[in-house]
Amino acid sequence: MKNRKIFVACDDSNIKNIKKIIAHTKTNKFQIIPKFGLQFFYSRNGRRFLENIKNDFWLDLKINDIPQTATSAIESLKDLKKCKYITVHANGGLEMLKAVKKNSKKINKGLKILGVTVLTSLNNKSLKEIGHTKKVEQLVLKQADLINKSGCDGIVCSAKEALMVRKKYKKLLIITPGIRLPGDSSNDQMRIMTPKDAFKNKVSGIVIGRSLTKGSIKHNIRRLFDHLNK
């Protein structure tokens, strides 16, 4: 179980709440790594907190811009020494993905660049509204191809597409958000799965947020442990 990567989504802008999430998700059952998104990073004290954090963490910024701007964004994060994962969006294109991966080596050789595909809040209807003609599965595979060609370390996709991606790309890290414990609300997510089913689909790691952080975190950790060991 300790080989399974589990990330907790720290979707809050209150430092006190973030410290509570980090403290209460420490367990000897498995390693849980905090993931910080836009809400926390953009908050008044969020970036300063990440400069001094003692834990390894994932910075989920979904960088999506022209290659020069994207690489400059990565360079501006070089002081965040404990950052082990950063996300860029596949929509930025092959050249942007390649530029970010190449530049990341100059900052931190251990930094993993993860390419984000179709957000788990979207479905086929949503993609059509945006203007895409491909279905979710087709678009994820297309984006996975760009991510793989770019040399990035992994892909972020829903667990529903993970097995399909794994069959084609054996070595990519596959990290899946949209994870809920059995019986929990899907909230704003469209393509969700339980942790156990996600790992059955050959994912490298899962992102779990409200199923862990809503209510008693310690109780939810026990629920997660029991669920994975059934």
| Catalytic sites, residue numbers | 62
Distance CA 61, CA 185 (A): 25
**Those residues with Cβ within 8 angstroms of residue 68's Cβ, 6 or more apart along the chain or in another chain:** 99
Tell me the torsion sign for CA atoms 60, 66, 70, 71. Answer: positive
Beta strands in 10-148 (DSSP E): 32-36, 57-63, 83-89, 112-116
End-to-end CA distance of the chain: 12
